[in-house]
Structure formats: structure tokens, C-alpha cells
Structure 1
Amino acid sequence: MQALGLIETVGYLTAVSAADAAVKAADVEIVGIEKVIGVSGYLGVTVHFSGDVAAVKSAVESGKDAAERVGKVISSHVIPRAHQEVAGKLLPHFKLKEKAVNIPDNTEQ
């Protein structure tokens, strides 16, 4: 298991901003997302990242900084090498399902 990085935010917009900044900052992959209603009465969103330790640390820091400019960050954390019990039994519950997302390219005139 590579490093696991987590950024927990209030609100989906804040989470998307964190995720965007994180994947732009370092060679990491978004491996999961967790949504929980009830964080101060709002939607809590935790984004999970994976990659080598240095990349995940850089990504989480950049993502957290970007998210704080947009909304509220509850917490962030990097686990350098998650135990097999965590990787094998807990993380699959939050794993992203593969979906094709079509984002229009606005660069063409």
C-alpha cells in the first residue's frame, strides 16, 4: 500500500476545490470519497488520495490550502503506509466507481 492522504471538508464545493488542487500539485490519484450528513448540520466530504509518501504529503497540503480559501476544512491527514487491514477492509467501502465524466472543452472557439 502506498501512502493514504485524507482531506475532510464541509460541503462538496470545498471538497472539489481540495481535490483539484491536490491532483494538480503532485502525482497522486483520487481513490475514494466519503459523504456524511451531519457535520455541523452540513454535508461532510472526505477525499482519499494515494501515491508515494512525498507526493501525498504535498498534495494534501496544497489541497487543504485551496479548500480553506473556499470553505471549511475539518481535518487533513497523511498515513505513510496504511496497514493491510485498513487497505483491504475499510477503504473499499469508499472506493470510487469508474464513471465516464464528459467535461466540455471550452478552449475551442
Structure 2
Amino acid sequence: MGRALGMIETRGLIGSIVAADEMLKAADVTLVRQEKVDAALVTVLVQGDVSAVQAAVEVGKMAASRVGELVSAHVIPHPDESIKDVLLKKDEKVSRSSSKKEPLKGNKGTSKKKTELPKAADEGSQVNNEETK
């Protein structure tokens, strides 16, 4: 069983959601991630067996074209492991910090700030209420 990576890029969020939905329903693939590339460009990444990913991308292309604008689609059969590392880089950082079970930098004192913010908002609303009276 070979692994493959399938990518569909659309202009607009709705086209990417519909494409992802159709891909997941059409073949035995898993959704890796949805990336918002630019203001309107969204890329959906799926993985699975090579034939399943090819079938899913074909179905996703048709679905994206039907609902929105398909920009590009591509299948990479047997991608190198470093590709996976680059694509999942954000998720790995989160898992590393949570496995250490240490507070993240900048979290010290955030509970004080959270309690101070509502007080400031209440004082501001009281000032606005007094000014309007």
C-alpha cells in the first residue's frame, strides 16, 4: 500500500469545503489540513493510498468547479518524509509544548489581565452611562 498526498486549491472558502467533503466521501482518504494561503486562496490536503487519493482529487476538482473556482489540483504519489514534516510543522510545535507540561512563555500573569479587562470594560460602560444621563 503506497501513500500519496492530494492537493486542491480553490479561490474561496466554500469551494474548498465542498471539495474536501466530496473527497472524503468518495474515497478512503483522510484530511490532513486546510490552509488559507492568501486572501481568497484555500488549499485542501488529503492523504491515503495512491489510487484513493487520485480518485478523491478527481471528485474534488469537479465539486470545486461546480461550486466555486478551482485554481489547481495535484497528486504526489509516495511523497518524501520531509514534505510531511513541513506540512505538519505547526502541529508538532503544539504537541511538543503540551508534552512538556510547562507553561508557555507569555502566559504568566494572563489570568490577572483577564480579570482586569472586564473591570475596565465595566468602568468604561459606567462612564458612558453617566455621560448620557
- Asked if Structure 1 and Structure 2 have the same fold, meaning a TM-score greater than 0.5 normalized by the shorter chain, the answer is yes
Cα distance in 1 for residues equivalent to 2:60 and 2:44: 10
Cα distance in 2 for residues equivalent to 1:94 and 1:63: 25
Segments of structure 2 that go 5 or more residues without pairing to the other structure are 95-133
> Comparing both structures, which one devotes a greater share of its residues to helix?
2
> Comparing both structures, which one devotes a greater share of its residues to strand?
1
CA deviation profile, 1:6-41 (whole Å, cap 9, x unmatched): 000000000011001111110000011110224xxx
Segments of structure 1 that go 5 or more residues without pairing to the other structure are 98-109
Structure with the greater alpha carbon radius of gyration? 2
Cα distance in 2 for residues equivalent to 1:73 and 1:29: 20
SS at match of 1:37: coil
TM-score by length of 2: 0.64
- Shift >2 Å, 4+ stretches: none
Say whether 1:8 aligns with 2:9.
Answer: yes
Higher relative contact order, chain-length normalized (CA < 8 Å, sep 6+):
1
Give the RMSD, CA atoms, in angstroms: 1.8
Q: Which aligned pairs between 1:45-64 and structure 2 lie closer than 5 A?
A: 45-64=42-61
Specify the alignment match of 1:35 in structure 2: 36
Determine which of 60, 64, 72 is the counterpart of 2:69: 72
SS at match of 2:10: strand
Specify the alignment match of 1:20 in structure 2: 21
Aligned residue-pair number: 91
